[in-house]
Structure 1
Amino acid sequence: MAPQTVEQIIADVSAPPPVGTPHALPIPGSERPNRTAVYRHWRFRDQPLLTKLEPEVESVHDLLELAIKKYGNRKALGVRKWNPVTQEHENKFDWMTYAEMGERRKNLGAGIIDVVQQAGYTNSKYGVGIWSPNTPEWHLTDMACTSQSLFSVSLYETLGPDTTEYIINHAELPVVACSANHIPVLIKLASRVPTLKVIISLDALDKGEHKDKNPGNILKDIAAQSGLKLYEIHELEEIGLKSGRGFRPPTWNDITTINYTSGTTGPPKGVVMHQGNAVAAINGARSMGNVQANDTHISYLPLAHIYGRMIDQLALVSGAAVGFFRGDVLGLVDDLKLLKPTSFPSVPRLFNRFNSAIKAATVEAPGFKGALSRHVIDVKKGYMRQPPGSTTNTHFFYDRLWTKKVRAAVGLDNARSMISGSAQLDPDVQEFLGAAFGNEFRQGYGMTETYAGATVQLSRDYSAGNLGPPLPCLELCLESVPDYNYSVDDKPNPRGEVLMRGPTMFQGYHKNDEENKKVLEADGWFHSGDIGEIDSLGRLRIIDRKKNVLKLAQGEYISPERIENVYLGNTNIVATAYVHGDSKESTLVAIFGVDPENFPPFASKVLGRNVAAGDVAGINAAAREPKVKEAVLKVLDKIGRGHKFNNWERVRNVHLLLDPFTPDNGLLTPTLKLKRPQAAKAFREDIDRLYAEIKATEEPSKFKLKALNLRVQFIFMFVIDLVKIGNILTNKPLGGVYSTCVWHSTDPQPRPLPSTRLAGGHRHPIPLLLGPLFRPFGTPCGKTKLEGHSSTSEDCDRNEYTSHGNESSDKDG
């Protein structure tokens, strides 16, 4: 039997399991104390985890070489060039072919080796820093490194000089390739980064000026005075071409990158990834069948983040065309409309914005448009919630009439699939966008330590709120976390810390044995720090983060990130959130960054005056208005009720302002993750004020409640006294309460008491007044029914107001 082709393997692995069967399976006998069984992708329970699709491949370099040879004349890397005349980007993409990409990569790699050697650096294998936004030159530099057994070290575009200095020194980098705006920073750091010898400008510095006024020559002179050599990328390509140097391909165990994490709780950690880790991760993603040779992909997720890099590498080794956004997220939709990608990997932050914008234009629109949109979404959601085997998010008529327009509005006309990663997306957002776009919209989970990928939903799984089963290249299990009341014995699903193992797993943190001992076990298990749950189909759901779990004064554990994600996914008036809970308090408060576009009209409506979108001072002033805060809290309460928040999960007070968290103020990482400890410290005064305001409003409420209780007690005692007076006036002991029709248990029939009538035949006013008070204690017709007797509506008419006592008679008293 002939061996399967790569295409056949991908087709087999990407096919969903039989209807109603698990997406991941536990390995029998793999359970350990306080741990679940080990779960694997349903096709790989009884066979080795996936590493290679092509037996000869040993590195990312090998994968790229196969693609370059196979797809040589196809489009590989494309950009919208800047037009200096119109001062705008061109309205088309300019493309480099796979063959051109391969040649430039080869020459650049050879050039790097030559200039570093000339600078006196003697080590044969070292790291090359890349400090640049998403550009073809970023990937060319990364490919050049792997072609010469070097490794890349990415620096986030938004890094400040201190973190840049730390990474260059920690990774001992002799060379950094960067965009032109970072060159002055590196020159200034020269005396504090002794290993740095060479700077490569990924931008052209020669603008055609006279050599004495050419900025490139000026910068080179300044760099030389600091002991650095500065080259433009094209110069290195020419040096490499002239050298005639060939490839020096890496092996499976060579380092491919040291990727520094965002550093939410301290200095960034250098995650060491080998070539084999990258190959297994890329092939695991290939096996899902999302990317094909004729596809078009957009590169906009930061390449310094492993998620963005792996997604681009997946596209390139598959033969797809990769177009780069212009660098401005506000112009992303314009880039999407021009490129029309066939897939769209993104993050919750952007999907939340899509969700808010599309809802505002469709289901929240007035009139017929809104009514039609709501009907379409309801119908498609209904299809998505059908029993397994019957689910779909497409509709023959509505997809042509309605869905087509929604997709075109954001440039995703051709997008067959969308994937959300980096953080868990709110289920309501996933379900709505899945219905609105009518394509494969899946969630995935991964970390830098797993080379981005770990789990992803399978094809035709239209459920929301889970992250799918493990990829074929990885296995996972859960371990109990008793400190936070999570146990693998929990029902209906086991819960605990997510542990992962497999060929994609990182080799450890660079120069950080202490941290390695905390998270890596001898048999390869990695402790993620995430709290997960595995459902009956073997799909993972992240429910907490160990370091971020809060414990309130009443002993309740809270996941602030989950609450933040729900709020951000269901309102467009806030763009960022920090939910906080002090251990000595019983409630939550929050700092919200208001959305600069959607908050002003909201505030304008509340205040009855115009709040302009571009007026920063006016927006912040409106955010401080008590009426606006109250209106925002009402929105949050409505969202909380809709998501069945417990009472202690509701945010009780908020501080609103524009852009409270940014990379520049140190409260967001370069990947836009919140630095929680730093945020708590920065807003400590505001947090204390919010709690003080809650207490100030609670004290009067407590006083009012106490006063109300006293009033109720007074009224009750007053009623008792009236009853006693009635007893005296009617000359009848009261063994119970008044009702509209009551009789003595010893009487054969209900009868009125003569003493309830005054002279002239009038009824006594006290029983007349008290009877209605106690109607709730009677039977449906208003009577109090005693054991052994019955009455009729006629009795009710006849005996409107009498008294009774159990087993009593006229002689009682």
Structure 2
Amino acid sequence: MTAQMYSAEVPNSPDIPGEGKPRRSILCPEKLVQSYQSHKGTNQITTLYENFLEGVQRSEGGSFLGTRPIVDGVAKPYEWMSYTRVQERVTHFGAGLAHLGVTSQSNFGIFSINRAEWTMSELAGYMYNYKSVPLYDTLGVAAIEFIVNQTEMETIIASADKASILLHIKSSLPTLKNIVVMGAIDDALVAEGKELGVQIVVWTDVERNGREKPVPVNPPTADDIATICYTSGTTGVPKGAVLTHRNFVAALSSFQLLSKHQKFFIPSTADTHISYLPLAHVFERISQSIMISGAARIGYYQGDTLKLLDDVAVLQPTIFISVPRLFNRIYDKVLSGVKAKGGIAAFLFNRAYQAKKANMKRGTVEHPLWDRLVFGAIRARLGGKVKHIVSGSAPIAPDVIDFLRICFSADVYEGYGQTEQAAGLAISYRGDLTPGQVGPPQLCVEVKLRDIPSMNYTSQDKPFPRGEIMLRGYSVFTGYYKNPEQTAEVLDADGWASTGDVGQWDDRGRLVVIDRVKNIFKLAQGEYIAPEKIESALAKHYLVAQIFVYGHSLKSTLVAIVVPDAETLKTWANDNGLGNKSFEELCALPKVRETLLKELNAFGREVDLKGFEIPKNIHVTSEQFTIENDLLTPTFKLKRHTAKEKFNVEIERMYQEGN
């Protein structure tokens, strides 16, 4: 019997040297999707505004946005606004923004952690055809200045704490005129704004003004820009991915069609999603758009990730969308807890685990006895009602995917995508329990692999073709804002976008992400890492001559290979009673490694590296990186792939020591 294929080569596609044939999902071999039909079958959904109206109609007045009020420091039960109430408020708020001078296709900022006003502000943008530009402080203050100035932003919607940050740097933000504050504000903030020439207004006042002075809704077209989403740039300057309504709706339409084929889910009014992944990134925004399309409820976390599981226990979501870092934490806690208990509890868990693992080979994730007897308490960690789990933003280890399926008896999906295609590149299918793959291309794109000779990856590799993942289709962005040079590096004249990631097709036409080409990469929690920037910063330490920073995409921390500065290390050795040792002997000493690690940790913070950018373990070597040993290019740049291969044993050991 022939195994089911998940993708097929695009018919009549030309043979291009150095490239494999493009492939599409087996569900759409002839035509890519870009819109979807409303549930009543009366019209095609082509914009995010129409997607919102679809949710309002489907909801029949049901709950939409939920928030936990904090009273005397204690989080209370969720309070809900209905879809129809949110529609009213969004209409008024969008009109209020118009009175502040926001016009069709002009840019406005949103700067806050996830909360109901964030979503409502964006929905107002969709309704009145404004372009949202999210801001987030993990990029750093310099990046915020760059984004505000490049987009010539006049109005920013912000929480009170973020409003203070903006006022602090107002001298560097000449275009900023209005800050709309979510929640309560004090007189001091208003006074500070007035002194700096910035009007500070409360979100609800803008809403009231729009209610009293209505403005006609101004719906966007599919080709209008919905958002400019900034990501880290290779030079340290962020780059803004320009995403249209068509880009997002194409990805949404893929999920809709997958659902009709029982390969994914579209939520209903009975479903609940917890919103805690940053709304500044497209992963959470496409997730919310999926929830809206099916009129599901969205409940927000309190704002503290340490209290997330408490929020989850109260909300009891049926859909849990997260990143590998959290799933890894649950995995580690459960398995270490089982090990600590030992005895009959550990015996029962292991027996149940193996029984369900065997069941998965027969295509089922449920077991009537073990689910109740052993896994009920684990399911309760996510509220006890989760039916669908989606992991994205970074690769997840196959054994963790298996763990989630076994312990939660849920459909578990692994998605793969980037900002530049509205997170819509590939996703694994319901019922396919093979871990380690991200499924075929989404139904809105086609994907091909381009040879990377420098890394020995080719589309002719046996048994599986390998190469850089390239895609073309309706979810692919139009380019980087005011940056034609970087756009040209990523997007070619035929519409093919390069991802910087290395993939291979498996024997059934599913995509497996195996490596990366580009120097910016993600850790397991989804944080972007620019290793050259970190290496440049840490190499300034007086004890460091050369450094190679490495991050495994399934891990949440960085490690590094360090070549000490021979002269300054000798001085340190003399001061510490080790003057009789050679350079090679010093590099092998545990005390030198411990000292360097401690020094780099402190120094990293001094030079404003973030916690996740500082290596948590290092290996010290006396061997210089040179052109002769193939670790440097002729222009003295580090050959990252070669260095990774050379120090692979040390890298694996450093990560094992960290577990």
Partner of 1:348: 324
1:109-258 aligned within 5 A: 109-116=94-101, 124-205=104-185, 215=186, 217-258=187-228
The one-letter amino acid of 2:91's match is K
Distance in 1, Cα, partners of 2:600 & 2:30: 54
Deviations 1:98-134 (A, max 9, x none): 01100110000000010226xxxxx643111000000
Q: 1:295 aligns with which of 271, 279, 296?
A: 271
Distance in 1, Cα, partners of 2:437 & 2:605: 30
Q: Name the larger-Rg structure.
A: 1
The answer on whether the counterparts of 1:655 and 1:690 sit within 8 Å (CA) in structure 2 is no
Indicate yes or no: 2:506 matched with 1:535. Answer: yes
Distance in 1, Cα, partners of 2:235 & 2:37: 38
The answer on whether the counterparts of 1:532 and 1:541 sit within 8 Å (CA) in structure 2 is yes
Distance in 1, Cα, partners of 2:451 & 2:410: 37
User: Structure 1 663/194 Cα, relative in aligned 2: closer, same or farther at 3 Å?
Assistant: farther
- Count of aligned pairs between the two proteins: 563
Partner of 1:80: 68
Indicate yes or no: 2:33 matched with 1:49. Answer: yes
User: Structure 1 663/380 Cα, relative in aligned 2: closer, same or farther at 3 Å?
Assistant: farther
Distance in 1, Cα, partners of 2:9 & 2:24: 7
Distance in 2, Cα, partners of 1:417 & 1:656: 42
The Cα of 1:693 is off from its aligned counterpart by 11
TM-score between both structures, scaled by the size of structure 2? 0.80
User: Structure 1 580/61 Cα, relative in aligned 2: closer, same or farther at 3 Å?
Assistant: farther
Indicate yes or no: 2:404 matched with 1:433. Answer: yes
1:306-455 aligned within 5 A: 306-362=282-338, 365-384=341-360, 386=361, 390-408=362-380, 410-455=381-426
The answer on whether the counterparts of 1:532 and 1:540 sit within 8 Å (CA) in structure 2 is yes
Partner of 1:571: none
Q: SS at 1:116's partner residue?
A: coil
The answer on whether the counterparts of 1:450 and 1:505 sit within 8 Å (CA) in structure 2 is yes
Distance in 2, Cα, partners of 1:161 & 1:324: 26
Partner of 2:75: 89
The answer on whether the counterparts of 2:562 and 2:621 sit within 8 Å (CA) in structure 1 is no
User: Structure 1 659/139 Cα, relative in aligned 2: closer, same or farther at 3 Å?
Assistant: farther
User: Structure 1 124/335 Cα, relative in aligned 2: closer, same or farther at 3 Å?
Assistant: closer
The Cα of 1:65 is off from its aligned counterpart by 1.5
The Cα of 1:231 is off from its aligned counterpart by 0.5
Distance in 2, Cα, partners of 1:304 & 1:74: 26
The answer on whether the counterparts of 2:32 and 2:443 sit within 8 Å (CA) in structure 1 is no
The one-letter amino acid of 1:436's match is C
User: Structure 1 662/167 Cα, relative in aligned 2: closer, same or farther at 3 Å?
Assistant: farther
Deviations 1:496-542 (A, max 9, x none): 00001111110000011111111111111001110111101111111
Distance in 1, Cα, partners of 2:78 & 2:2: 43
Partner of 2:250: 280
User: Structure 1 525/663 Cα, relative in aligned 2: closer, same or farther at 3 Å?
Assistant: farther
User: Structure 1 154/394 Cα, relative in aligned 2: closer, same or farther at 3 Å?
Assistant: same
Q: SS at 1:458's partner residue?
A: coil
CA RMSD of aligned residues (A): 3.0
Distance in 1, Cα, partners of 2:25 & 2:355: 32
The Cα of 1:160 is off from its aligned counterpart by 3.2
Distance in 1, Cα, partners of 2:21 & 2:241: 27
Distance in 2, Cα, partners of 1:42 & 1:292: 24
**Highest relative contact order (Cα 8 Å, sep 6+), 1 or 2?**
2
Partner of 1:691: 621
Partner of 1:469: 440
Distance in 2, Cα, partners of 1:58 & 1:185: 37
User: Structure 1 57/73 Cα, relative in aligned 2: closer, same or farther at 3 Å?
Assistant: same
The Cα of 1:657 is off from its aligned counterpart by 9.8
Distance in 1, Cα, partners of 2:549 & 2:29: 32
The Cα of 1:167 is off from its aligned counterpart by 0.7
The answer on whether the counterparts of 1:576 and 1:661 sit within 8 Å (CA) in structure 2 is no
Q: Which moved more, 1:363-372 or 1:531-540?
A: 363-372
User: Structure 1 469/111 Cα, relative in aligned 2: closer, same or farther at 3 Å?
Assistant: same
The Cα of 1:405 is off from its aligned counterpart by 1.9
The one-letter amino acid of 1:537's match is R
Partner of 2:630: none
The Cα of 1:659 is off from its aligned counterpart by 8.0
The one-letter amino acid of 1:89's match is A
Partner of 1:36: 20
The one-letter amino acid of 2:559's match is Y
The answer on whether the counterparts of 2:318 and 2:387 sit within 8 Å (CA) in structure 1 is yes
The one-letter amino acid of 2:621's match is Y
The answer on whether the counterparts of 1:28 and 1:37 sit within 8 Å (CA) in structure 2 is no
Q: SS at 1:476's partner residue?
A: strand
Q: SS at 2:153's partner residue?
A: coil
Distance in 2, Cα, partners of 1:164 & 1:663: 20
Deviations 1:292-335 (A, max 9, x none): 21211100000001101111121122100000011111111111
Distance in 2, Cα, partners of 1:257 & 1:491: 41
User: Structure 1 187/19 Cα, relative in aligned 2: closer, same or farther at 3 Å?
Assistant: farther
The answer on whether the counterparts of 1:479 and 1:499 sit within 8 Å (CA) in structure 2 is yes
Distance in 2, Cα, partners of 1:292 & 1:535: 30
The answer on whether the counterparts of 1:560 and 1:579 sit within 8 Å (CA) in structure 2 is yes
The answer on whether the counterparts of 1:223 and 1:230 sit within 8 Å (CA) in structure 2 is yes
Distance in 1, Cα, partners of 2:405 & 2:503: 24
Distance in 1, Cα, partners of 2:227 & 2:384: 35
The answer on whether the counterparts of 1:51 and 1:503 sit within 8 Å (CA) in structure 2 is no
Q: Which runs of 4+ in 1 moved over 6 A?
A: 656-665
Distance in 1, Cα, partners of 2:340 & 2:358: 19
The answer on whether the counterparts of 1:381 and 1:431 sit within 8 Å (CA) in structure 2 is yes
Partner of 2:491: 520
Unmatched segments (≥5 aa) in structure 2: 260-264, 522-530, 532-547, 564-588, 626-659
Hey, which of these two has a bigger chunk of strand by percent? Answer: 2
Partner of 2:237: 267
Partner of 2:558: 577
Distance in 1, Cα, partners of 2:596 & 2:352: 36
Distance in 2, Cα, partners of 1:44 & 1:361: 45
The answer on whether the counterparts of 2:549 and 2:558 sit within 8 Å (CA) in structure 1 is no
The Cα of 1:287 is off from its aligned counterpart by 3.4
Distance in 1, Cα, partners of 2:462 & 2:503: 13
Q: SS at 2:121's partner residue?
A: helix
The Cα of 1:560 is off from its aligned counterpart by 4.8
The answer on whether the counterparts of 1:469 and 1:540 sit within 8 Å (CA) in structure 2 is yes
Partner of 1:716: none
The answer on whether the counterparts of 1:496 and 1:531 sit within 8 Å (CA) in structure 2 is yes
Distance in 2, Cα, partners of 1:178 & 1:398: 48
Partner of 1:787: none
Distance in 2, Cα, partners of 1:292 & 1:496: 35
The answer on whether the counterparts of 2:109 and 2:132 sit within 8 Å (CA) in structure 1 is yes
Distance in 2, Cα, partners of 1:661 & 1:154: 31
Distance in 1, Cα, partners of 2:330 & 2:607: 27
User: Structure 1 132/522 Cα, relative in aligned 2: closer, same or farther at 3 Å?
Assistant: same
Q: SS at 1:223's partner residue?
A: helix
TM-score between both structures, scaled by the size of structure 1? 0.65
The answer on whether the counterparts of 2:254 and 2:443 sit within 8 Å (CA) in structure 1 is yes
Distance in 2, Cα, partners of 1:537 & 1:494: 12
